[in-house]
Amino acid sequence: MRAVVFEELGGPDVLKVVEVPDPEPGPGELSIDVAYAGVGFGDVKARAGGYRIGGQPFRPGVELSEALRPGVEVSGRVRAVGEGVTAFVPGQAVAAFTSRGGYAEIAVAPAVTVFALPPSLSLRAAATLPNALPTAYALLHEVGRLREGDTVLVQGAAGGIGTVAGQLARMGGASAVYGVVSSLDKTEHALKSGYDQVFVEATFDADVRVATGGRGVDIALDPVGGETFRRTLTAVGRFGRMVSFGNTSGKEPWQVGAGETYPLGISVAGFSVFSMYSMAEENPARLQEIAGRAFAAVVEGGLELPVSAEFALEDAPEAHRLLESRTSTGKLLLRVSR
Ligand SMILES: NC(=O)c1ccc[n+]([C@@H]2O[C@H](COP(=O)([O-])OP(=O)(O)OC[C@H]3O[C@@H](n4cnc5c(N)ncnc54)[C@H](OP(=O)(O)O)[C@@H]3O)[C@@H](O)[C@H]2O)c1
């Protein structure tokens, strides 16, 4: 089969399409004929620096050669099921979180991170969801502990996670949802995605103070890190919750002390979708429950993550360049087969 690999860490051009042996599902796994693969900022980070959490390698000790296959999410049809898998049949339409190796004609995933698609959901729409949807849902509801009437601030509001988080915050009963983008061109996209007001990076902290009457927000979600993380923390109000879930800025990992948390009783948390999906081994029912609630927002609530650009497998470098350019909105996909 054809698959995208990278043999060294670096810029987008390290991504190459090569022929590799067709993978077979092991016990508890299934293989998928991939229709579409999602492209996320985590793939960009992995290509440039390996898969990491909080600045540390995701799995300490893993050789680089094991991390050469990008892509953590796909949609497609079940090709084969491994020993012990009874919930899926070949030919069934699914979306899956794959951990890696998603930019390929065939992907393998544990059955617990594979989701059967309702007939109303196309394979194209489904490929946008396995990473962004459970991540945004867990950020708001599990880690951020969203309550009816809360105010929410989201950095990167027009991107993949941001587009989903705005809609989920609104569906979850937030009284106001504020987004931050780097340029005004992205405002329109964000305003269609659940946001009440969208601010630009340069002034967001002052804008939030005005919008909340000086109180600050109840929940803030930050994927940027560095100076943006610090400024976002100052926009969190009494008993508020700040969740860091990325480091697009590439700055040093943050540290927070008593001086920033005691005065207003602010909680600061971190989140990784890898650690949530690793729950598949210890508590598959809990993972399925969270994912089920998140997918209900799509099927019952009409949540959408619009695809703003689609690329062939061999054009994966172009997709990465676009994502890094900070000009994209919504989701980028690789079209593998239909
Ligand atoms: N923790 C987790 O489990 C998890 C899971 C998925 C994704 N993530 C993180 O969530 C963030 C969003 O991921 P995504 O896949 O949905 O990507 P995305 O939001 O579609 O694209 C990344 C966005 O980050 C913003 N950005 C801010 N600083 C940037 C910089 N220095 N370089 C490039 N972009 C910058 C850009 O928006 P503006 O130009 O408008 O600022 C850009 O559009 C990333 O940090 C990713 O690593 C975390």
- Give the total number of structural domains in the chain: 2
Query: What pLDDT is stored for residue 60 in this prediction?
Result: 37
Same domain membership, residue 149 and residue 263: yes
Domain membership flag for residue 159: yes
Same domain membership, residue 187 and residue 64: no
Same domain membership, residue 119 and residue 151: no
CA of 44 to the centre of ligand 1 (A): 10
Domain membership flag for residue 232: yes
Same domain membership, residue 225 and residue 164: yes
Residue nearest to atom 2 of ligand 1 (CA): 272
Query: What pLDDT is stored for residue 88 in this prediction?
Result: 97
Same domain membership, residue 136 and residue 270: yes
Establish whether residue 308 lines the binding site of ligand 1, counting it when its CB lies within 6 angstroms of any ligand atom: no
Same domain membership, residue 270 and residue 140: yes
The span from the CA of 2 to the CA of 9, in Å, is 20
What are the beta bridge partners of residue 331? 307
Residue 65 has pLDDT above 90, yes or no: no
Residue 61 has pLDDT above 70, yes or no: no
Tell me the pLDDT tens digit for each residue of 221-238. Answer: 999 999 999 999 999 999
CB 133 within 8 A of CB 298: yes
Establish whether residue 186 lines the binding site of ligand 1, counting it when its CB lies within 6 angstroms of any ligand atom: yes
Residue nearest to atom 15 of ligand 1 (CA): 40
Give, in degrees to the nearest 5, the angle at Cα 101 between 20 and 14: 75
Establish whether residue 156 lines the binding site of ligand 1, counting it when its CB lies within 6 angstroms of any ligand atom: yes
Establish whether residue 71 lines the binding site of ligand 1, counting it when its CB lies within 6 angstroms of any ligand atom: no
Q: Which residues contact 20 (CB under 8 A, 6 or more apart)?
A: 1, 2, 3, 5, 104
Query: What pLDDT is stored for residue 59 in this prediction?
Result: 43
Establish whether residue 41 lines the binding site of ligand 1, counting it when its CB lies within 6 angstroms of any ligand atom: yes
Residue nearest to atom 11 of ligand 1 (CA): 223
Q: What is the CATH number of the domain that holds 196?
A: 3.90.180.10
Domain membership flag for residue 284: no
Q: Which of 45, 104, 35 is nearest to 323 (CA)?
A: 45
Strand-pair category, 73-81 with 307-312:
unpaired
Same domain membership, residue 235 and residue 175: yes
Establish whether residue 160 lines the binding site of ligand 1, counting it when its CB lies within 6 angstroms of any ligand atom: yes
For the whole model, what pTM was predicted? 0.95
Give the three-state DSSP class for 107.
strand
CA of 156 to the centre of ligand 1 (A): 6
Same domain membership, residue 136 and residue 124: no
CA of 107 to the centre of ligand 1 (A): 24
Tell me the pLDDT tens digit for each residue of 191-222. Answer: 999 999 999 999 999 999 999 999 999 999 99
Tell me the pLDDT tens digit for each residue of 94-146. Answer: 999 997 899 999 999 999 999 999 999 999 999 999 999 999 999 999 999 99
Domain hosting residue 30, numbered range: 2-128+306-335
The span from the CA of 224 to the CA of 176, in Å, is 21
Angle between helices 41-49 and 316-324 (to 10 degrees): 100
Same domain membership, residue 207 and residue 81: no
Please give the structure tokens belonging to residue 238. 């009494």
Same domain membership, residue 203 and residue 219: yes
Using alpha carbons only, how large is the chain's radius of gyration in Å?
19
